Structure 1
Amino acid sequence: MIKTIVFDFGDVFLTLDKSATGKHLKENGISELDVELVKINNAYEKGMVSSAEFIHCYTKRFNRLTTETFKTAWNSILIEFPEHRLKFLKKLKAEGNFKLILLSNTNELHINWVKENISVYEEFRSCFDQFYLSHEIHFRKPDASIFEFVLDQNGLKPDETLFVDDTLEHTLTAQKLGIRTWHLQAGQEEVTELFSKKSDLF
Structure 2
Amino acid sequence: MARTRAEDFDDKRRAILRSAAAVFAEQGMEKASMARIAAQSGVSKSLLYHYYPSKAELIFSIIHTHLEELDAAIAAADDPELPPEARLRALVRAVIETYRDAADQHKVQLNAGPVLGEAEKAEILAVERRIVRRFSAVLAAVNPALGKGDGRNLMPVTMSLFGMMNWIDQWFREGGPVSRADYADLATTLILDGVRAVR
Normalised by the length of structure 2, the TM-score is 0.29
Higher helix share: 2
Higher strand share: 1
Q: Using CA pairs under 8 Å that are at least 6 residues apart, name the structure with larger relative contact order, 1 or 2.
A: 1
Structure number with larger C-alpha Rg: 2
